[in-house]
Amino acid sequence: MTPSQDRQRKALMDQVKKILQAQHGRARMAERYMEQCFRRVPSEDLLSESPADLAAIIMGQLDFIRRRGAGEVLVRVRNPSLENDGWESTHTVIETACDDRPFLVDTVALTLSEMGLNVHLIIHPVMRIGRDAAGGLNGVYAKTSNRGRPESITHFRVD
């Protein structure tokens, strides 16, 4: 990453944080989620998105993982629209959430390839998620934290 990309990325993340603070009731959790979610996404992919779209993706994913029972696998396939999701894409989005396991991304990517779908973007954070006894989301923690349990959340954009 060039110094210019680094500055642009930081400015973009600051703009997303401001949107999350203004729109999200649990802004600090949303900010922690954003930091974990986008930390390994290449800058050129992030910089091609608007701050409003990135904030909508974060809020949508938090809603998606809001409740997940132990061992449960969540899958969502959609064509995001401004009306329903607050952002839009020319690609179909496939998202999953489950307990972290080896080879999840490779398996999904291989399956999508076998289906003849081109993958345009993969966002795959593994983060420690806190949940109450009913599976409700109550915390997002750094991967190095001993709090919560490791969960794998994937976001694939395909043809």
Three-state secondary structure readout of 8-49: HHHHHHHHHHHHHHHHCCCHHHHHHHHHHHHCCCCHHHHCCC
Reading the chain (159 residues) residue by residue, the pLDDT tens digits are 688 889 999 999 999 999 999 986 668 899 999 999 999 999 999 999 999 999 999 999 999 999 999 999 999 999 999 999 999 999 999 999 999 999 999 999 999 999 999 999 999 999 999 999 999 999 999 888 899 999 999 999 999
The DSSP letter of residue 50 is -
pLDDT at residue 52, rounded to an integer: 96
Q: Report pLDDT digits (tens) over 94-122.
A: 999 999 999 999 999 999 999 999 999 99
pLDDT at residue 24, rounded to an integer: 66
Q: Are 71 and 143 in contact (CB under 8 A)?
A: no
